[in-house]
Amino acid sequence: MDWWSPAISAVAGLTGVLIGSWLATRREEEERRLRFIQRQLEEFYAPFCALRQEIRAKSEVRVKVSKTAAAEWAALFEGIESPELKQEIEARHKDQFDSIVTYSNKQVVDDLLPSYRRMLDLFREKLWLVERATRIHYPTLAEFVEVWNRRVAGSLPASVAEGMGHGEENLDSLYADAERHRDQLQRKIRDGRSGRWSAHVSSLRKPGRKETQP
């Protein structure tokens, strides 16, 4: 037997162990990365975007109802010239149409504003999961909610809020960033799972070592 054969075998064995250890470490790092991404998505970005979508849907319904109600109210008086008849029509329908405004105002206080506050809660509770590009929008959201808190408490006139430029359009950049990160995280998770499955299938297809025949 050649003297170098045992040395070659030893080096090959050690190399195999080192490579196997390196691959195992890489797999563990990738698993940790995917678990972190999963938590980012499930604990912050997905619920945050869901709140945004719910607020937007309800706000769109409110605007649609308001416009339709205004058109219907005007239609009630179309072609009516008599002041007495106009007063009669107004008295008959006023409470019903006023209830639309009452409901919308109550919805802002009891439903929409708590959703905005929940967005702030998500930032505070899950800040360590939030990407830096998203965190920079936190002060804007905090200001938006605080102005609403003051308005609801009756300590800030609507004209002052308007003068401050208060409006949900100030949150557009935050919403766009959150939705972009949500989509990116979903793709990373999907691609990561696909990669792990491909690696698993490849390992199953590798031929086993043949036994040495006597």
To 5 degrees, how large is the angle CA 47–CA 65–CA 95?
Answer: 120
Residue 174, domain member (yes or no): yes
Mean pLDDT of the chain: 85
Chain position carrying tokens 């939030």: 130
Asked if residues 67 and 22 have their Cβ atoms less than 8 Å apart, the reply is: no
Asked if residues 76 and 19 have their Cβ atoms less than 8 Å apart, the reply is: no
Residue 40, domain member (yes or no): no
**Statement: residue 3 has pLDDT above 90:** no
Q: Identify the pLDDT of residue 194.
A: 59
pTM summary value? 0.77
Residue 27, domain member (yes or no): no
pLDDT tens-digit series, residues 95-133: 999 999 999 999 999 999 999 999 999 999 999 999 999
Residue 201, domain member (yes or no): no
Asked if residues 109 and 154 have their Cβ atoms less than 8 Å apart, the reply is: no
Number of domains in the chain: 1
Q: What's the first-to-final CA gap in the chain, in angstroms?
A: 19
pLDDT tens-digit series, residues 24-74: 666 777 888 999 999 999 999 999 999 999 999 999 999 999 999 999 999
Q: Identify the pLDDT of residue 77.
A: 92
Which residue range(s) make up the domain with 156?
A: 47-180
Residue 54, domain member (yes or no): yes
Residue 128, domain member (yes or no): yes
Nearest residue to 175 via CA among 42, 37, 40, 53? 53
**Statement: residue 7 has pLDDT above 90:** no
Residue 24, domain member (yes or no): no
Residue 94, domain member (yes or no): yes
